[in-house]
Amino acid sequence: MTELASYNFAYLDEQTKRMIRRAILKAIAIPGYQVPFASREMPMPYGWGTGGVQVTAAIIGPEDVLKVIDQGADDTTNAVSIRAFFQKVADVAVTTHTADATIIQTRHRIPERKLSEGQVLVYQVPIPEPLRFLEPRETETRKMHALEEYGLMHVKLYEDIARHGRISTTYAYPVKVAGRYVMDPSPTPKFDNPKMHMSEALQLFGAGREKRIYAVPPHTDVVSLDFEDHPFEIQRFEQSCALCAAHGVYLDEVVLDDKGGRMFVCSDTDNCEDRREHGHSGEMLAPSKEAAE
């Protein structure tokens, strides 16, 4: 009996992985520069992280431990399906604990816990070009990157202040990497921008539909653009997490009913669970079993 057709390790064939790795190496060598690559069709729709999945597939090995998050959560559809995908096609260990993971694929958040050397953060990017909404021509934006003409990026921030009195861009906030390329940090909240600066972990960005890969190597300057009289600021939350009472973390607002009831909870579920295990409890946390008995 002949062997049934099966997938190569981590779904992609070796030549494809090799092509993607070359793009990744080039991206690391030129921090913030968008490297074109021959993005493949993946068994999931565009917008579900086809770029991130290809980057992860190209770098993952049998010993890696994978964590996948979607808006900070390990248990939402996108995260669960991508995690299951790699369990199936690469048979790798998976985890939800940030500290245990070697590769973290993320959609729009950086874990609250500080990443360490040896970890790789893979971002799923929908639109890699920070200048796109102001300059629709790709030929022109490439030229602007090449000649370092980034005045237009400040036009966007100017518009924000003119309309709202402050820089109202809250996500996909443009950054300058290593003093050269302006980069879109994918739609992460600007709350996470400071975490990219001088990060110990390698950060890789994959845009599947737009066929671009870019990277921020460890220990690289990542500076958020701003004006002298309107400096960059991250979001601040008055509340603390309703479940783990954490302060200074990124919170999601959850609407509870149609009478104005709402709660603020950690966007990073792993961090929240970890804090609760260590005895922190917020005002809306259900009493534990022992206490109820």
Partner 1 sequence: MNDTPLFKVSGVSKFYGQRIGCKDVSFDLWPGEVLAIVGESGSGKTTLLNCLSTRLMPTAGSVEYRMRDGQFRDLYHMSEAERRFLMRTDWGFVHQNPADGLRMTVSAGANVGERLMAIGDRHYGNIRATATDWLSRVEISTDRIDDQPRAFSGGMRQRLQIARNLVTGPRLVFMDEPTGGLDVSVQARLLDLVRGLVNDLGLSAIVVTHDLAVARLLSHRMMVMKDGYVIEQGLTDRVLDDPREPYTQLLVSSILQV
Residue with token string 């940090």: 185
Stretch that binds partner 1, among 81-89, 193-201, 222-230, 270-278 (CB under 8 A): 222-230
Active-site residue identified among 49, 241, 260, 279: 241
Question: In whole angstroms, how close is the CB of 254 to partner 1 at the nearest point?
Answer: 34
Length of the chain counted residue by residue: 293
Contact 153, 174 (CB under 8 A): yes
Active site residue 208: no
Residue 30 or 285 having the CB closest to partner 1: 30
Rounded Cα gap, residues 27 and 160, in angstroms? 31
Residue 147 or 291 having the CB closest to partner 1: 147
Asked if 134 is part of the footprint of partner 1 (rule: CB under 8 A), the reply reads: yes
Candidates 22, 142, 197, 230: give the one binding partner 1 (CB under 8 A): 230
Contact 92, 86 (CB under 8 A): yes
Would you call 204 helix, strand, or coil by DSSP? strand
Active-site residue identified among 32, 49, 72, 208: 32
Contact 36, 26 (CB under 8 A): no
Contact 47, 126 (CB under 8 A): yes
How many chain residues are in contact with partner 1, going by CB under 8 A? 19
- 99 residue type, one letter: A
Give, in order, the Cα–Cα distances in Å from 127 to each of 29, 63, 214.
21, 31, 12
Asked if 93 is part of the footprint of partner 1 (rule: CB under 8 A), the reply reads: no
Question: In whole angstroms, how close is the CB of 227 to partner 1 at the nearest point?
Answer: 4
Active-site residue identified among 72, 206, 272, 282: 272
Give the closest residue to 169 by CA, choosing from 148, 155, 181.
155
Strands 103-107 and 65-70: parallel
Active site residue 32: yes
Question: In whole angstroms, how close is the CB of 35 to partner 1 at the nearest point?
Answer: 22
Give the closest residue to 47 by CA, choosing from 165, 270, 209.
209
Residue 163 or 289 having the CB closest to partner 1: 163
| Per-residue mark of binding to partner 1, 145-184 (x: CB under 8 A) | --x-x-xx-xxx-xx-xxx---------------------
- 158 residue type, one letter: Y
Residue 149 or 273 having the CB closest to partner 1: 149
Residue 59 or 225 having the CB closest to partner 1: 225
Q: How many helices (H) and strands (E) does the chain have?
A: 8, 12
Active site residue 272: yes
Question: In whole angstroms, how close is the CB of 153 to partner 1 at the nearest point?
Answer: 8
Question: In whole angstroms, how close is the CB of 140 to partner 1 at the nearest point?
Answer: 11
Residue numbers annotated as active site: 32, 241, 244, 266, 272
